[in-house]
Chains A and B, each alone.
Chain A
Amino acid sequence: DIQMTQSPSSLSASVGDRVTITCQASQDIRKYLNWYQQKPGKAPKLLIYDAFNLDTGVPSRFSGSGSGTDFTFTISSLQPEDIATYYCQQSDNLPLTFGGGTKVEIK
């Protein structure tokens, strides 16, 4: 199985700050890395697929980059509605695997 290591596990930032989350795969997954946002009590929501493509309707303050084993997710200007847990997920090989999650809070 491909292991996905996400960091940090939690972070606290101020409104307007730039927030960065990293995800490392245990082997080359090419560009097949996806990012989800999950708010408390809700289902996850796809934000970015194939490393850098924004899903329909996702605000442009969210972005993704990377390839191979190292990937980055960025919120360019943190908003109060971005409080959530974010997960990466690889879709290069079965079994599909998720990172452990990053909980984002407002300072």
Chain B
Amino acid sequence: EVQLVQSGAEVKKPGKSLKISCKGSGYSFPTYWIGWVRQMPGKGLEWLGIIYPDDSDTRYSPSFQGQVTISADKSITTAYLQWSSLKASDTAMYFCARLMTSERFDAFDIWGQGTMVTVSS
């Protein structure tokens, strides 16, 4: 079964760092782009960026460039999203998702279950 399994919910204080994970299985992890999508409470979907695990080619949304870091370790089929200094406005559900083809930027066909990040003092 093709699936993405994300790490569990996090509660952090402002200014702290955080790294959440997304582990792929059931397919050739290195050769499919993995993206991250944010959903703030009660709001819509926002695309943060994508990474190609085979060579770590990474593209960011201009809105999130410099705010988060996307990485991947193909040896353990895991992608990551990290913050160096969290803000209350980072409170959201974060989904990882796989692009359905490697030939072009495409639809997200497989989604992780989501990781809820809460930033509060």
Closest A-chain residue to B104, C-beta based? A91
Q: Which A residues from 75 to 100 make CB contacts under 8 A with B? A: 87, 89, 91, 93-100
Chain A min CB distance to B78 (Å): 18
Chain A min CB distance to B8 (Å): 15
Any B CB within 8 A of the CB of A49: yes
A contact residues, total (Cβ < 8 Å): 24
Secondary structure type dominating chain A contacts: loop
Q: How far is the CA of A95 from the CA of B46 in the complex (A)?
A: 10
Number of A-B contacts (CB under 8 A): 65
Q: Which B residues from 70 to 121 make CB contacts under 8 A with A? A: 95, 97, 100, 104-109, 111-114
Q: Is the CB of A44 within 8 A of B107?
A: no
Residues in A whose Cβ lies below 8 Å from that of B50:
96
Closest B-chain residue to A87, C-beta based? B45
Binds A, one of B11-19, B23-31, B56-64: B56-64
The 0/1 profile, CB within 8 Å of B marked 1, for residues 40-56 of chain A is 00011110011000010
Q: Is the CB of A49 within 8 A of B100?
A: yes
Any B CB within 8 A of the CB of A34: yes
Q: Is the CB of B44 within 8 A of A87?
A: yes
Q: Is the CB of A96 within 8 A of B35?
A: yes
Which 8 residue pairs are nearest across A and B when measured between Cβ atoms?
A: A34-B107, A43-B111, A49-B107, A95-B61, A98-B45, A96-B47, A101-B44, A46-B109
